[in-house]
Amino acid sequence: MKMAEASCPSCADEKSDKIIASGKKEFEGKLIIAGQPNCGKTSIFNLLTDSSQYVGNWTGVTVEKKEGILTLKNKKALLVTDTPGTYSIFGHTPDELVTENVLISKAYDILLITVSATTLERQLQFVLEASLINKKKILIITMNDELESQGKTLDLTSLSKSLKMPVAIINGRTGAGLVELKDSIEREIIRDESETQVNVNELASLSNPLSKKLQEEEKRLNIELLAAYKHLTVEHADFTEKELHISAQNVYASSLRFTEKKNTFFEKVTIFLDRLILSKYFGIPIFFLILFAMFQATFTIGDFVFSQIELVLIYLSDLANLIPIPIIASLLSSGIIGGAGNVLALAPYVFIMFLILSFLEDSGYMARTAFIMDRFMHKLGLHGKAFIPLVLGFGCNVPAIMAARTLESPKDRIKVALMIPFTSCSARLPVYALFSAVFFGKYASLVVLSLYLGGVLAGLGTAFLLSKTKLGGKSDDFLMELPPYRLPRIKNLFINTWNKTKGYIQKAGTVIVFASILLWILSYFPSGVEAGSEASFLGMLGKFLAPVFSPLGFDYRMTISLLSGFAAKEVIISTLSIVSGGLDLSSALPLMMNSATSLGYLVFILLYTPCLATVAVMRTETGSTRWTIFSVLYSLFLAYGLSFVVRSIALLFM
């Protein structure tokens, strides 16, 4: 399940565009990686491009686009693009349509078709479809070791001959076979393209019974014709499909050789794990146990690293305060170090959360949550597949909303997009971490866990309410592959996680520095006032809005922080730090609010609009301004109401 990868695609967008723009001049060729889901495309992409990757968006649509640079032995640089996995060249869901458009555009030099050896028979249908595109192609076979342990080997010469394309075997885990693949790419890139013409007669001759009919009917079957295939009559398309299926079976049968079966250990492990994980009774408890472990690990490790970085920040801030010019000292210590530095220091939490989510995806567990939660999701008028974007929301809401593209029904996509903002993303996590450590001591993790659960409940409640509107109605077109369990490759995990964390850090280094400086200016002027006080510009703005929030017990500083938090939730920390006038937050926060109010404040932060990027992506993904505005207003009201209730109850006990 590779549903969404970028942490904050809007941030990386610019850089990726630059690559595309320069690509026309600098690169000596373009490669496209395509294949069915779960075939190891990402491993191949990571192996080929190593660390030179850029994540951006496909122009016009918000589905992640991953590009990287492959440098050959002769120093030639090639641009490699990974595409969303698809079962057929002709897409069904919006993310698959992206791949369809890329493949049919033919704006590339070599198509790298990736297949896994263990499911080669069915994947050959895809390869045969792709073989009709008049472009140079290389077939990359992954997971061959798994096939061999089943007592089967592939005759590569025969396979290459039948498919008329070079075949390379790569071990995605160890990288064995990479040198040969690069050599093959080097040979293909300089080869004359006209030799690639595929003759449909040859393809048809692979299968006997129907080939004559095909030859008569479609002498010049090529990709343009096939593109119209979706609009053909049922019988016609049916016929093409059957033909492909039979061809695939023949190619497979002619290239498969049997050897001795080596072990069935892995099979037994899979059966055992699935019996447990997909069990009617244990499935859901195990899921919650895994979630709990995920948060525990994130906080335990995150707290430790953060406290170390915080020491450095305090030291730097003290150093900056030694500067004799007060305005510069203040800009550096409370504006930049306090504002952006604090956000940067919280990056370890984000990293660990993404690392664990990547692990769950790569291991095959994430796909299984769709099965486990299917029954429950039906009560909300959704089905199991809709659950995965919600879990991905724990990382970042933006790619999670994009991941809703894998759902077939437009109604479901809107519903899920409206639920996702309530799943606490990793940008909210630092805020919780900070507050709970200051106010709740040994109950900190309980408070944070409750916030996460509260968010999930708010999302589910929202879905329930929406099912009573015109978005209601049952949807059950749940159809999804159950991938085998795999031990994720450590390097892949780190590359993927780093790509996502990089988004967070880049944001802290650019947008948030800028926002911090702006906020600092507003807090420092008019000149002569105490920084961040009610007399500063920021204070005046806060004072103006404060009456709205006084029933919740929020003062002008907390109000202004919420306002800036609209841009991104991390900015709340920057703002609080700037308005507290140079004090470190651990000592400043208790002066600002009591613990009951802080709880209400956290509830508000949990529920109101996560960030501008989420609003923007919601607009493009749902295609509806009305639903987007609804989401913003609805979450504001919900935040206000529940914050009031929680604080009122907490005041009785605290």
Partner 1 sequence: MHLLTEIHEGSRVRFLEYSKDFSLKKRLASMGFHLGSEVFVVKNDSSSPVIIAIGETKLMLGRTLANMIKVELVSKGSIAS
Count CA atoms within 13 Å of residue 313 on its CB side: 25
**CB 579, min distance to partner 1, A:** 51
Binding of residue 479 to partner 1 (CB under 8 A): yes
Binding of residue 210 to partner 1 (CB under 8 A): no
Segment contacting partner 1 (CB under 8 A): 17-25, 284-292, 309-317, 482-490? 482-490
**CB 545, min distance to partner 1, A:** 48
Binding of residue 207 to partner 1 (CB under 8 A): no
Segment contacting partner 1 (CB under 8 A): 184-192, 345-353, 456-464, 474-482? 474-482
Count CA atoms within 13 Å of residue 540 on its CB side: 8
The whole-angstrom separation of Cα 224 and Cα 270 is 42
| 470: number of Cβ within 10 Å | 7
Binding of residue 145 to partner 1 (CB under 8 A): no
- How distant is the alpha carbon of residue 85 from its chain centre? 14
Binding of residue 125 to partner 1 (CB under 8 A): yes
Task: Identify the residue among 26, 224, 477, 530 touching partner 1 (CB under 8 A).
Answer: 477
Return the DSSP state at 231. Answer: G
Measured over all CA atoms, what is the biggest interatomic distance in the chain, rounded to whole angstroms? 91
Task: Identify the residue among 25, 73, 209, 234 touching partner 1 (CB under 8 A).
Answer: 234
**CB 375, min distance to partner 1, A:** 5
**CB 226, min distance to partner 1, A:** 13
Nearer to partner 1, 271 or 457 (CB): 271
Cα–Cα distance list, 590 to 262, 443, 601 (Å): 64, 16, 13
Exposed (0-12), middle (13-18) or buried (19+): which is 288, by Cβ within 10 Å?
A: exposed
| 319: number of Cβ within 10 Å | 13
Q: Are 632 and 615 in contact (CB under 8 A)?
A: yes
Binding of residue 476 to partner 1 (CB under 8 A): yes
Segment contacting partner 1 (CB under 8 A): 18-26, 76-84, 185-193, 371-379? 371-379
Binding of residue 87 to partner 1 (CB under 8 A): yes
**CB 62, min distance to partner 1, A:** 24
64-71 and 77-82 as β-strands: parallel, antiparallel, unpaired? antiparallel
The three-state DSSP-derived secondary structure of 11-59 is HHHHHHHHHHHHHHHHCCCEEEEEECCCCCHHHHHHHHHCCCEEEEECC
341 Cβ contact list (under 8 Å, min separation 6):
313, 316, 317
Binding of residue 122 to partner 1 (CB under 8 A): yes
Binding of residue 370 to partner 1 (CB under 8 A): yes
Q: How many residues bind partner 1 (CB under 8 A)?
A: 35
Binding of residue 241 to partner 1 (CB under 8 A): yes
**CB 315, min distance to partner 1, A:** 54
Per the structure block, which two tokens stand in for 21?
């723009």
Binding of residue 236 to partner 1 (CB under 8 A): no
| 521: number of Cβ within 10 Å | 15
Phi, psi of 110 (to 5 degrees): -130, 135
Nearer to partner 1, 34 or 579 (CB): 34
**CB 133, min distance to partner 1, A:** 16
**CB 280, min distance to partner 1, A:** 6
Return the DSSP state at 20. Answer: H
The whole-angstrom separation of Cα 576 and Cα 593 is 12
Nearer to partner 1, 161 or 236 (CB): 236
3-state secondary structure of 177: coil
**CB 244, min distance to partner 1, A:** 9
Task: Identify the residue among 20, 225, 237, 305 touching partner 1 (CB under 8 A).
Answer: 237
428 Cβ contact list (under 8 Å, min separation 6):
569, 605, 606, 610
Binding of residue 2 to partner 1 (CB under 8 A): no
Return the DSSP state at 262. Answer: -
User: Which among 15, 17, 40 has a CA at the least distance from the CA of 502?
Assistant: 15
**CB 245, min distance to partner 1, A:** 6
Q: Are 286 and 276 in contact (CB under 8 A)?
A: yes
Site residues for partner 1, 243-272, by CB under 8 A, read 245
**CB 573, min distance to partner 1, A:** 41
Task: Identify the residue among 278, 309, 449, 636 touching partner 1 (CB under 8 A).
Answer: 278
Task: Identify the residue among 14, 26, 481, 530 touching partner 1 (CB under 8 A).
Answer: 481
Nearer to partner 1, 62 or 119 (CB): 119
User: Which among 336, 352, 204, 364 has a CA at the least distance from the CA of 278?
Assistant: 364
Nearer to partner 1, 120 or 447 (CB): 120
Per the structure block, which two tokens stand in for 30?
């373009």
**Chain contacts with partner 1 (rule: CB under 8 A):** 87-88, 92, 118-119, 121-123, 125-126, 234, 237-238, 241-242, 245, 278, 280, 370-372, 374-375, 383-384, 474, 476-484
